[in-house]
Amino acid sequence: MHGATGRVVFVGAGPGDPDLITLRGWRILCEADVVLYDSLVDARLLEDLDAELVFVGKRCGDHHMPQEAITELLVRFARDGRRVVRLKGGDPTVLGRTGEEALRLSQLGIPFEIVPGVSSAVAAPALAGIPVTHRGVADAVCILSAHRQEDEPELSIPPYHPRTTLVLLMALQTVGTWSPQLLERGYPADLPVAFVNAGATARQRVVVTTVARAAADARSAALDSPTLAVVGRVVSLRDKLAAYEGALLRSRHEDAPVMHMLAFTAGGAREESCPS
């Protein structure tokens, strides 16, 4: 597909397990000429693709490639007439900087599409036995980054409401900052907090603590990235729902999944391997 201007598709890879990519996301990934992928993308999604693979991952304190350079790569590949997939962990529009990249493409008249993904903000807690809403317990969810911009004095933590669940992404390294801010905004010291480490993967770990103990317990648990934090009364539901967590994760990861896509036809659905 060289000559005419190509297109860029932003695809959410899901929260960890490669089986959790959407059907449309998987089909478009299989059709790509070039894939720019992030550090949280499971490598099994990239196996056997007939595409050029470009790693552009960013982790806290370790940016493999500056954001501006990533955006210009998208522009260059699309102008070369290639089908470009920008593959991001979770949902591409949830703290994934997709808006910045898409705005640049829009300015230059380069066609693009956004394929939503399953966000770790809701999937990782769910797989840890913590629904982010629950009738009579929580009817609102606030998802926020646990990292502030250099010109911002504090995080965007809302005032406490007993029926609101907070989900802080990239929460580990700044727990010493956001946990005191929770107390300042009226969050009870004994309000439950759950750290979900490596959610939706075979390495998933969960540490349950409180607002007052969050920083100390995160350190003693020796967690690493990626880790998110769930703050709110829904964390207490884990006591009853977590009994299914181990069996669920084992069943999903005992055998490395073979990636398929369902091709819908007039006669129904069938499984197909990624085209070679």
CA angle 121/126/128 to nearest 5° reads 105
112 assigned to some structural domain:
yes
Whole-number pLDDT of residue 271: 39
145 assigned to some structural domain:
yes
Whole-number pLDDT of residue 7: 97
Residues 51 and 162 in one domain: no
Query: Which of 17, 19, 33, 38 is labelled catalytic?
Result: 38
Residues 133 and 239 in one domain: yes
Residues 194 and 84 in one domain: no
Non-local (6+) Cβ contacts of 241 within 8 A are: 129, 130, 131
- Residue pair 189/211 in contact (Cβ under 8 Å)? The answer is yes
Query: Can you give the CATH number for the domain in which 63 is found?
Result: 3.40.1010.10
Residues 90 and 125 in one domain: no
How many structural domains is the chain composed of?
2
Q: Is 222 left (phi over 0), alpha (psi -120 to 50) or beta?
A: left
Q: Give the rounded distance of the alpha carbon of 161 from its chain centre.
A: 25
38 is catalytic: yes
- Residue pair 170/223 in contact (Cβ under 8 Å)? The answer is no
Whole-number pLDDT of residue 66: 93
For residues 146 and 154, give the distance between their C-alpha atoms in angstroms, rounded to a whole number. 10
For residues 240 and 250, give the distance between their C-alpha atoms in angstroms, rounded to a whole number. 19
The torsion of the CA quartet 120, 162, 174, 68, rounded to 10 degrees, works out to: 50
- Residue pair 201/17 in contact (Cβ under 8 Å)? The answer is yes
What is the mean pLDDT of each successive set of 10 residues along the chain, which is 276 residues long? 80 96 97 97 96 86 80 98 98 96 98 98 96 98 91 88 98 96 98 97 95 97 96 96 67 50 41 43
Instruction: Report which of 257, 272, 254 is spatially closest to residue 42, judged by C-alpha positions.
Output: 257
Which of 76, 101, 118 is the C-terminal boundary of a domain? Answer: 118
58 is catalytic: yes
264 assigned to some structural domain:
no
Residues 87 and 165 in one domain: no
Residues 240 and 128 in one domain: yes
Residues 146 and 245 in one domain: yes
Query: Can you give the CATH number for the domain in which 210 is found?
Result: 3.30.950.10
272 assigned to some structural domain:
no
Query: Which of 17, 19, 48, 58 is labelled catalytic?
Result: 58
The predicted model scores a pTM of 0.88
Domain range enclosing 93: 7-118
159 assigned to some structural domain:
yes
Whole-number pLDDT of residue 223: 95
Which of 71, 102, 118 is the C-terminal boundary of a domain? Answer: 118
Whole-number pLDDT of residue 158: 96
